[in-house]
């Protein structure tokens, strides 16, 4: 099992550009989520999904879109990047009440 | 709404000394509680979790945590810290099932020789 994989590991964007952060898991987990991590803020939930075709907003959803067409994949889209979106992004998955498994993260810089 | 407080932003301990990291939570019912560790440049790894039963929970790498309902706390402990324990530690709380998990702001542990 590869677990949770994320691509790319690093990305630099200019303000206004768009991009998609990829996340995939091979554990057949129903629940997937995206967090951003900023110094002193811990992890904040952006969006989550409880199954294919079902997504919902977390604490900080503005500026981000998600979709869940398959159980395995949960991409995060930035439609028009802003410097405030400079952060480290983590994808996670879990099955029901079990613990979450985290990907290695994507470090995004928006200039 | 659920919340987690980790009052210590940064802690420094000597190698071989004992460690206690504090975590206080707010949740109306019995929560699901977690401790995660994050090494520099890495993702988060689960150390231990509490769902129900014995309030003293054993985890990986020699860590343990005790759930104290009366104090709304879930403090992480280790009797003897190793240099490799230097990392950031996150406490998290959730209601279970497919509900959202809320993370604390983290405690950064420095280990000095």
Tell me the pLDDT tens digit for each residue of B83-109.
999 999 999 998 766 678 889 999 999
For chain A, percent of residues with pLDDT exceeding 90? 86
**How far apart are the C-alpha atoms of B88 and A97, rounded to whole Å?**
24
Give long-range contacts, CB 8 A cutoff, 24+ apart: A24-27.
Answer: A24/A72, A24/A73, A24/A74, A25/A72, A25/A74, A25/A91, A25/A93, A25/A101, A26/A1, A26/A2, A26/A72, A27/A1, A27/A3, A27/A93, A27/A95, A27/A101
Of B24, B113, B28, give the one whose Cα is nearest residue B76. Answer: B24
Q: pLDDT confidence of B31, banded at 50, 70, 90? A: confident
In a 13 Å sphere around the CA of A33, the CA atoms on its Cβ side amount to: 28
Partners of B100 on chain A (C-beta within 8 Å) are 33, 45, 48, 58
For chain B, percent of residues with pLDDT exceeding 90? 75
**How far apart are the C-alpha atoms of B11 and B63, rounded to whole Å?**
16
In the three-class reduction of DSSP (H, G, I as helix; E, B as strand; rest coil), residue A19 is classed as: strand
8 Å CB contact of A40 and B105: yes
pLDDT confidence of residue B97 = 66
**How far apart are the C-alpha atoms of B111 and A87, rounded to whole Å?**
26
Of A47, A51, A36, A55, give the one whose Cα is nearest residue A103. Answer: A36
Q: How far is A44 from chain B (nearest CA, A)?
A: 7
- B25 contact A CB<8A: no
Instruction: Label the pairing between strands A54-57 and A76-78.
Output: unpaired
**How far apart are the C-alpha atoms of B104 and B92, rounded to whole Å?**
6
Partners of B42 on chain A (C-beta within 8 Å) are 104-105
Considering only the beta carbons, identify the residue of A48, A97, A103 that sits closest to B100: A48
């Amino acid at each position: 099992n590869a677990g949770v994989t994320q691509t790319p590991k690093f990305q630099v964007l200019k303000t206004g550009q768009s991009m998609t952060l990829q996340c995939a898991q091979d554990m057949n987990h129903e629940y997937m989520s995206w967090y951003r991590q900023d110094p002193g803020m811990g992890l904040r939930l952006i969006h989550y999904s409880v199954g294919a075709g079902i997504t919902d907003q977390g604490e900080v959803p503005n500026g981000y879109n998600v979709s869940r067409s398959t159980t395995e994949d949960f991409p995060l889209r930035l439609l028009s990047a802003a410097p405030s979106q400079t952060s480290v992004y983590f994808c996670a998955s879990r099955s029901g009440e079990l613990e979450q498994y985290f990907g290695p993260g994507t470090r995004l810089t928006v200039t | 709404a659920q919340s987690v407080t980790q009052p210590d932003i940064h802690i420094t301990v000597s190698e071989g000394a004992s460690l206690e990291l504090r975590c206080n939570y707010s949740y109306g019912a019995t929560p699901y509680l977690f401790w995660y560790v994050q090494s520099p440049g890495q993702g988060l790894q689960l150390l231990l979790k509490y769902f129900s039963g014995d309030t003293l929970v054993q985890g990986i790498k020699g860590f343990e945590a005790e759930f104290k309902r009366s104090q709304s706390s879930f403090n992480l402990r280790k009797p003897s810290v190793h240099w490799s324990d230097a990392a950031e530690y996150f406490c998290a709380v959730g209601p279970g099932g497919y509900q959202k998990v809320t993370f604390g702001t983290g405690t950064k542990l420095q280990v000095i020789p």
